[in-house]
Each structure stands twice: as C-alpha cells, then as structure tokens.
Amino acid sequence: MRGGQRQKGRCVSGQGHAWWEDAVVYEVYPRSFADADGNGIGDLPGLRSRLPYLADLGVDAIWLTPFYPSPLADGGYDVSDYRAVDPLLGSMADFDGLVKDGEAHQIRVIVDLVPNHCSSAHPLFQAALAAAPGSPERARFIFREGRGRDGELPPNNWKSMFGGLAWTRVTEALPIPGGRPGQWYLHLFDAGQPDWNWRNEEVHAFFGQVIRFWLDRGVAGLRVDVAHGIYKDPDLPDDPDPDHLLNAVNAPSAYHHRPELQQLYRSWRAILDSYPADGFPGARTAIGEVWADSPGTLRPYLESRGLPQVFNFDLIMASWDAVAFRKAVDGVLALADGSRAPWVIGNHDVPRPVSRYQLDEAFGPQTANRLVSFGHDRHERGARRARLAALLLLALPGSAYIYQGEELGLPEVADLPAAARQDPQFRRTHGQSLGRDGCRVPLPWTPAGADFGFSETASPAPSWLPQPPDWGGYSVEAQLGDPSSFLSLYRAALRLRRAHPALGRGTLRWVDGPHDAEGLLCFAREPGFVFAANLGQAAVPLPPHGEILLASVPDAVGPEGELRPDAAVWLSA
Ligand code: NOJ
C-alpha cells in the first residue's frame, strides 16, 4: 500500500468512503499516449508499459477514451463494436493485461461508454439502413421523413455540434412502395455517428449488456459520453436557437438535459452497485460528461440514486479572475462536494491550459483559433498560470482529473497544418473552427529521437498527428531530473496530497485578504492547510501561515513575504 491518500481512499469493510471520492484520475487518450509497435498510433501495450510512470506520478486511476473498433470519424467516439478492442490499439488480452498490471500498481481503469450514438459502420445501424422505413431495425435510431415537397428538407432545424446539419438523408436500399425518397437520420455530431433512440427498450437492453461486459472485466468505472444529450424531445421540435450546439451553449433544450435521463441513470447506478468489489458497495463509479450552463442545470444529475459522479467543467469555463474562480468553486460546492462533481482544468476537447491561460477570457468555441498567433511571452504567462491552476485543482475538496500531458505543461499545438488535422469539427466547419487536434498531439517521452520516444521501436512511422520540433524539451525524460519542471511540480503536489490529512475529500473555508488584495484566492482546509493564489496583477500579502509546503513557481513569494502575480502556494496553517 502506497502513501496516506491511498489509505484515506481505501474503504474497509463498509466503513469510510468509496475510492473515487478523492481519487486523482489521469485521462489517457490512447492513440496519443505511447506507441509500442511503432505504427505511429498509441496503443494498449504502450500504455501498459508506461504504468510505472503513472504509478510514480501518483495517480489513483486512469480513464481511457475509446479504444474500440472504429472508423475514426471522431477519434474513436464513433464506435462500431462496443465489446472489442480496435486491432490498431491491441487485443482484449492486452486490455485484460492492462487491468491486471493496473491492479499491481494500484491504478484502477475507467473506460468510456458512448451511449448517445454509435458509428454508422455499427452492424445495427447497417441493418437499419438495409431495412425499410418503419421497421424495428430503424426504430433503434432516429429516422424521420424529410420536410418539403419530396422530403428534401431535413425533419427539423437542428444543427450538428461539429457544424452543418444534424441530419443526413439516406438512399433507401429496399424498393419502397410509391417510390418515396429516402428518410433522414439524426446525428448531433458527425454523420458517421447516428444517434440511438433511447425510447426503444432494445437500446436499453443493449447498453445494459455493454456496461456489464466491462464491469465483468474488472473496470472500476465508466465515463459516460454526452451524458446530458442522450434523450431527445419525442416531437423533435425546431430549436429556437439552432446554433446552440455550435456555440457550446449548454442550456436545457429539446436534446439536452431531458428529465428522462435521471431514470436511466438510476438504472445504471443499480447495475454499478450490484458489483460489490472491495467488499463494499459503491466500488464502481460512473462519471457523466455533463456540460451545463449553470449549477442549477447540473443539479438533477446529483440526486443520490443517480450517476455516482458528474464532471464539473466550471473551472474550465471561468475567466482568469479570482472572483470568477471563487464563483465557479462556490457554484459547485453549493450543490455537492467535489467527490461527486470532480474538478478538471482540461481534457481532450479543450485547448491545453498552458495555452488557454494566455488569454484572460473564459474558454469558448473560438479559443483554439485565437491561440494561433501567440508568441513566446504569452507562453510564459500561460505556463505560470497553468502551474497555479494545477495547485488549485489538487487542493480543492474531492476528486480531480488530469488530462495526459498537463503534467508536462504541454501547450496547444495551434499551428498544425490543415492536411494533418483529423477532427470532424475542422472538416465540417470548413476550417472555421480549428477543432481539437491541437491538444491531442502524441506525447514526448525523450528529448530526442524521430518521435521523441512516443514509440518504443527503432524506426517508427510518423506519429498520427505531427509533433512540433521543440516537443523534446517537454519530454518526461527532460523534466524528470529538473526540480523546477512541470512534472516535478505535479509529482510533488500528488505526493503531498496523498500524505496531507486535509487534502482529498472534505470542505473548505474561504479566507479573505485585505480589501486591496484583489487577485487573492485563498481558502483553508482542516487540519492545518491553506491554499493561496494570486490571479491579479499586483503582489498580495500572504495570509498568516506556518511554512510554505509547495510553490507553483520558484519566485512565487517575494522578499517581503508577498505572493506574486500568477503564483500559488500550499501552506501549513
Ligand atoms: C464528447 C467527447 O469527449 C468528444 O471527444 C466527442 O467528440 C463527443 N463527445 C461526441 O462523442
């Protein structure tokens, strides 16, 4: 058994709490993590061989984004077989080996469940295409007749989140009496991702089997993709604001935050709780990807019998401002603690924090585009701020998620050539939105080498997204021996978090500074811990404290004991 946090998180015969309530989970985007066979695409054996790195970093679990067979219309979120491993990424034996080795390293495995849509290559969707309108095969998806004289207009005005229409018209395979033109099917995302019809019992039964399949293989949890979007208003009414999705507005609508969702999540919770691993209920978690416009919209997902957890993206959505950050934290804490709504500052859908924080404003759909022209000065500022945000993330009560490469301070690769980009968002908006490839560039492990150690073979194929020439400077190897590196900061913070009795689950109490200390964000946790950060432009006095346990940057505290701008410290009280 390693360290105190592991002890804190371990539940003994029904006492204590579930492991996930204070877990630090590391998000792995498998195609970009480590490539064992040298084909330029990361894989499960690559990940498995790097488990010692993750154990050393100090994380409790990994969440794997989809590694299932997929035509890759959306980086694997277009699943053509929910119960298999894409041969490009390995085999089921590799997956089982990963879970087993994970156990040996005390790292649990969470897998992605994609219930809103599958791939258009999925056999059930292919069967729907081959069947006639009105058939049971079509009823598993959302097919409708078009509007207009010959059905040439889509059934309603919904738009895809990736740009363009949310409907695609099919060519009927069967001769149709009366020669009617083809139907349309709904896809909130790419045309290669048809939405399931959750008003069909067969869909419920199918996903029940998928969930059990992975739980039976020993996974510790599921991350539920688009958990706010699975049900649609059965009338499919026109949307008063059809640019909702494109503009990432996450208010309730005909396709978001439908009340029917909670009944579904209760049924999934019952499945999870029927797996009493570790000798206590609640051993398996499921965490919903719920983008919400306000804490009120998030509230229904936090009912006690629903999903064990939902992400809160409020730190990502906050502008660089102490008041905005405090509001983001308070908004969530008023509903639940961070155990049920873990904290996160980045993921595979959002520009990297180091780059995002070069801007003062909140994250929005155009953020990636705005980063293209930024130079070195801005980078320094973003990096400094990202280090502050990391210490905040890991000091807040509850659980936190880290996206691979955040611990290396990787920037967004904003200038990927158009020909290299693979995100459907880029394609479907005709380049108007750069999309998300910039945060998915394969990791650097060594300072030199054809692909900076991404592959473990001698002459690997080029990585599936090109790495920038300076990538080696960010590599694990370059950072390990450098006490001032990002990686050293994350490792130190995770070690302290495990050992310190105030960190992990619990509560916080805000500490206000003097009136003129505008940028100060400060809270205390018991026993004996204080977090202080300065998001303003002038130095602020530190609150009364004992010693400095950890500083985000070497020059965080000035000669008079003042906290410098864009710096944070962990203090003993
Ligand atoms: C959310 C996932 O995180 C994202 O990568 C994906 O494109 C959409 N859901 C659709 O599955």
- 175 band by pLDDT with thresholds 50, 70 and 90: low
Cα–Cα distance measured from residue 477 to residue 473, given in angstroms and rounded to the nearest whole number: 9
- 178 band by pLDDT with thresholds 50, 70 and 90: low
Can you spell out the DSSP letters for 85-135? --TTT--HHHHHHHHHHHHHTT-EEEEEE--SB--TTSHHHHHHHHSPTTS
257 is written with which tokens?
């935050």
Give residue 9's pLDDT: 44
Specify whether the CB–CB gap between 144 and 410 falls below 8 A: no
Cα–Cα distance measured from residue 278 to residue 228, given in angstroms and rounded to the nearest whole number: 30
- DSSP bridge partners of 540: 563
The answer to whether the CB of 321 is under 6 A from ligand 1 is no
Indicate whether 3 pLDDT > 50. Answer: no
The answer to whether the CB of 77 is under 6 A from ligand 1 is yes
Query: How far lies 424's CA from each of 27, 161, 193, 369, 400, in Å?
Result: 21, 10, 11, 15, 29
Cα–Cα distance measured from residue 370 to residue 388, given in angstroms and rounded to the nearest whole number: 22
Tell how far the Cα of 65 is from the centroid of ligand 1, in angstroms: 9
The answer to whether the CB of 225 is under 6 A from ligand 1 is yes
Give residue 377's pLDDT: 63
The arrangement of strands across the sheet holding 167-169 comes to: 143-144, 184-186, 167-169
Cα–Cα distance measured from residue 555 to residue 552, given in angstroms and rounded to the nearest whole number: 9
Ligand 1 atom closest to Cα of residue 116: 11
Cα–Cα distance measured from residue 38 to residue 361, given in angstroms and rounded to the nearest whole number: 40
Ligand 1 atom closest to Cα of residue 162: 7
Indicate whether 277 pLDDT > 70. Answer: no
Ligand 1 atom closest to Cα of residue 424: 7
Tell which one of 67, 70, 225, 350 to mutate to probe ligand 1, the residue whose CB is within 8 A of the most ligand atoms: 225
Active centre residues (catalytic): 225, 289
Cα angle 49-53-55, degrees, rounded to a multiple of 5: 105
Residue 84 CA to chain centroid, in angstroms? 22
Cα–Cα distance measured from residue 71 to residue 79, given in angstroms and rounded to the nearest whole number: 8
Tell how far the Cα of 527 is from the centroid of ligand 1, in angstroms: 39
Ligand 1 atom closest to Cα of residue 436: 5
Indicate whether 567 pLDDT > 80. Answer: yes
The answer to whether the CB of 423 is under 6 A from ligand 1 is no
Tell how far the Cα of 225 is from the centroid of ligand 1, in angstroms: 6
**What are the φ/ψ torsions at residue 98 (nearest 5 degrees)?**
-65, -45
Cα–Cα distance measured from residue 135 to residue 537, given in angstroms and rounded to the nearest whole number: 64
The answer to whether the CB of 437 is under 6 A from ligand 1 is no
For 490, counting Cβ atoms within 10 Å of its Cβ (0-12 exposed, 13-18 middle, 19+ buried), the class is buried
Indicate whether 13 pLDDT > 70. Answer: no
Short-list 314, 159, 167, 313, CA closest to 246: 159
* Collapsed DSSP state (helix, strand, coil) of residue 428: helix
Helix, strand counts (H, E) of the chain: 16, 18
Strand runs (DSSP E) across 182-314, as ranges?
184-186, 221-224, 285-288, 309-310
Tell which one of 65, 119, 189 to mutate to probe ligand 1, the residue whose CB is within 8 A of the most ligand atoms: 189
379-429 per-position pLDDT tens digit = 899 999 999 999 999 999 999 999 999 999 999 999 999 999 999 999 999
Short-list 396, 371, 425, 335, CA closest to 75: 425
Tell which one of 32, 70, 77 to mutate to probe ligand 1, the residue whose CB is within 8 A of the most ligand atoms: 77
- 86 band by pLDDT with thresholds 50, 70 and 90: very high
- 373 band by pLDDT with thresholds 50, 70 and 90: confident
Tell how far the Cα of 435 is from the centroid of ligand 1, in angstroms: 12
Tell how far the Cα of 9 is from the centroid of ligand 1, in angstroms: 30
Tell how far the Cα of 226 is from the centroid of ligand 1, in angstroms: 7
25-35 per-position pLDDT tens digit = 999 999 999 99
Going by CA atoms, what residue is nearest to atom 5 of ligand 1? 349
Indicate whether 88 pLDDT > 70. Answer: yes
Going by CA atoms, what residue is nearest to atom 10 of ligand 1? 77
**What are the φ/ψ torsions at residue 156 (nearest 5 degrees)?**
-150, -175
The answer to whether the CB of 74 is under 6 A from ligand 1 is yes
222-261 per-position pLDDT tens digit = 999 999 999 999 999 999 988 876 676 789 999 999 999 9
Give residue 250's pLDDT: 87
The answer to whether the CB of 189 is under 6 A from ligand 1 is yes
pLDDT (average), residues 175-201: 88
Q: Which residue has tokens 């480590």? A: 34
pLDDT (average), residues 202-216: 98
498-532 per-position pLDDT tens digit = 999 999 999 999 999 887 788 999 999 999 999 99
521 is written with which tokens?
């964000």
The answer to whether the CB of 226 is under 6 A from ligand 1 is yes
Give residue 281's pLDDT: 53
Q: Are strands 108-113 and 221-224 parallel, antiparallel or unpaired?
A: parallel
Cα–Cα distance measured from residue 114 to residue 227, given in angstroms and rounded to the nearest whole number: 9
**The residue count for the chain:** 573
Task: Tell me how crowded residue 7 is: count the other CB atoms within 10 A of its CB.
Answer: 13
pLDDT (average), residues 441-447: 98
Percent share of the chain, pLDDT over 70: 94
Give residue 174's pLDDT: 67
pLDDT (average), residues 53-68: 98
Rg (CA), the chain: 24
Ligand 1 atom closest to Cα of residue 425: 7
Tell how far the Cα of 421 is from the centroid of ligand 1, in angstroms: 16
- 371 band by pLDDT with thresholds 50, 70 and 90: confident
Indicate whether 206 pLDDT > 60. Answer: yes
Ligand 1 atom closest to Cα of residue 189: 10
* Collapsed DSSP state (helix, strand, coil) of residue 500: coil
